[in-house]
């Protein structure tokens, strides 16, 4: 994983001259994924638009949960806690559908832009189960992950956009598949103005 991140960082660094020719964007914000008690955390990403309605994007999510199972507190098992954290790196295409809402309502179509995307990559889940009677048990796994989703961009300023997304995240931990709902809200900064 460390080598993959280093290689991606070098690739982005040496592609800086391309950024002046095409639109590049950076985003960051809140991310939620269902499963494992519901995981909440952050997302950061970068996107490159080689042509206006198509983007290659890379997203990194860090999601966490701390749960207490209170039903066992008054039994011989005692107070039980579960700590989970999941990290994922997804890369894939994103297709924008500008003009879909043009002329409808009070919001102009070029400010409200729907999109669909797909992402493929790797996900790592680490879970720690702790109970006074049983002790502490830890488990972790790294596996292939993919997602299909979509969302809406709302351009608030020429370089700034608020992005909401929803999608299906499919992970494959412990040689079995898990389906999760992925929700997010991010702030996007674009290198080029989107004031058209």
User: pLDDT digits over 60-87, tens only?
Assistant: 999 998 777 655 555 655 677 788 889 9
CATH label of the domain that carries residue 182: 2.40.160.20
Q: Are 84 and 125 in contact (CB under 8 A)?
A: yes
Does residue 168 fall inside a structural domain? yes
Q: Are 180 and 34 in contact (CB under 8 A)?
A: yes
Q: Are 184 and 169 in contact (CB under 8 A)?
A: no
pLDDT digits over 119-138, tens only? 999 999 888 888 777 778 88
Does residue 195 fall inside a structural domain? no
Does residue 39 fall inside a structural domain? yes
**In 3D, which of 33, 13, 50 has the Cα closest to residue 90?**
33
Cβ-in-10-Å burial (0-12, 13-18, 19+) of 9 comes to: exposed
Does residue 196 fall inside a structural domain? no
User: What token pair was written down for 35?
Assistant: 């499963």
Question: How many CB atoms lie under 10 A from the CB of residue 112?
Answer: 18
192 Cβ contact list (under 8 Å, min separation 6): 23, 24, 159
**Dist CA 190 CA 113 (whole Å):** 14
Q: Tell me the mean pLDDT in the region 31-47.
A: 89
Which pTM does this prediction carry?
0.77
pLDDT for the residue 159: 87
Pairing of strands 54-69, 23-33: unpaired
Does residue 155 fall inside a structural domain? yes
Give 6's pLDDT tier (boundaries 50, 70, 90).
low
The total number of structural domains in the chain stands at 1
Does residue 141 fall inside a structural domain? yes
Give 109's pLDDT tier (boundaries 50, 70, 90).
very low
Q: Tell me the mean pLDDT in the region 103-132.
A: 79
Residue 32 predicted with pLDDT over 90: yes
Question: How many CB atoms lie under 10 A from the CB of residue 181?
Answer: 14
pLDDT for the residue 196: 45
């Amino acid at each position: 994983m460390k080598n993959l991140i280093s290689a991606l960082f070098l690739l982005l660094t040496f592609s800086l001259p391309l950024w002046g020719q095409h639109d590049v964007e950076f985003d960051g914000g809140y991310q939620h994924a269902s499963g494992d008690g519901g995981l909440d955390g952050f997302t950061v990403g970068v996107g490159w638009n080689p042509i206006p309605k198509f983007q290659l994007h890379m997203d990194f999510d860090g999601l966490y949960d701390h749960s207490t199972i209170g039903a066992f507190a008054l039994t011989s098992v005692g107070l039980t806690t579960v700590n989970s954290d999941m990290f994922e790196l997804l890369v894939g295409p994103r297709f924008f559908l500008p003009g879909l809402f043009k002329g409808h309502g009070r919001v102009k179509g070029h400010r409200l832009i729907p999109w669909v995307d797909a992402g493929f990559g790797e996900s790592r889940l680490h879970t720690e189960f702790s109970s006074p009677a049983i002790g502490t048990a830890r488990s972790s796994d790294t596996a292939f992950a993919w997602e299909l989703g979509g969302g809406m961009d709302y351009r608030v300023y020429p370089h700034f956009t608020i992005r909401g997304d929803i999608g299906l995240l499919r992970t494959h931990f412990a040689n079995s598949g898990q389906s999760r709902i992925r929700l997010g809200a991010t702030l996007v900064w674009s290198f080029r103005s989107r004031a058209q």
